[in-house]
Amino acid sequence: MYKEFKKRLKSGENLVGTIVTLNNRENVEILTQAGFDWLFIDAEHGPFSPYDVQSLLQAARSTPSIVRIPALDEIWVKKILDLGVAGLLIPQINTADEARKVVQLCHYPPAGERGVGLARAHNYGFSFTEYLQDSNQDLTIIVQAEHIDAVTNIKDIVAVNGVDAVLVGPYDLSASMGIPGKIENKEVQTAIKTVLNACVEENIPAGIFGVDLDAVDKYIDMGFSLIAVGIDVLFLGLGAQETCNSVKEKFKS
């Protein structure tokens, strides 16, 4: 399953996912029925412990899940990988050295320095040997370009062996440029294109987040193939608000 996700990603297939921020299994089960190719479980901003993440992965079942950890932290990397994720998304990777550290922590020796444990990823021991043998090539490693420093160093970052994709965080990127939230600003758009161009030159997929179709439409046309669109809380809140307002307007008519 996870090998198939990485294969689809590396082939340039357009993969559409959405962000999970609510610590609720039913929420994840509903999203898996909506047709998304992958789920973006946000343990950076969401109120998740590693055990919470495991519960959400169990609810996701066969839908590949990429987990964004809070930071480049060895303990978080080990714990989340041992849960059996399709891949990791690591925020605020701004240099090639940081990208190399990510790869080192995600790969078992001799390619890296990941610690060996026994957990859900290894099918609780029943697939231990197979997992150790295949994990380095099957795991998807995505680094996040969400700071102007990452844009400055992007050519070196994408050249790091083991980085499978780069996902742009446009809102944090704009904040790092002193214009938070102004993602349509010309300088922010130029920075986003710089990341995309570097990915194209290195032949690795580029991803980006947007709140809805309008937000990601032009990025799809530009060539971004890994799309994270929408957030669970917005689906719930905006959908409820739209229905509520429609009924109230009906009373007025």
Catalytic residues: 45
Contacts of 133 (CB under 8 A, 6+ apart): none
Report the DSSP beta bridge partners of residue 88: 67, 141
C-alpha to C-alpha distance for 116 and 247, rounded to whole angstroms: 56
In this structure, the dihedral spanned by the alpha carbons of residues 22, 28, 33 and 35, taken in order and rounded to 10 degrees, is 70
Which residue in 209, 212, 208 sits closest to 234, CA to CA? 212
Strands of the chain (E only): list them. 15-20, 38-42, 65-68, 87-90, 140-145, 165-168, 206-210, 226-231
C-alpha to C-alpha distance for 82 and 139, rounded to whole angstroms: 11
Local structure of residue 116 (DSSP, 8 states): P
Which residue in 71, 19, 38 sits closest to 225, CA to CA? 38
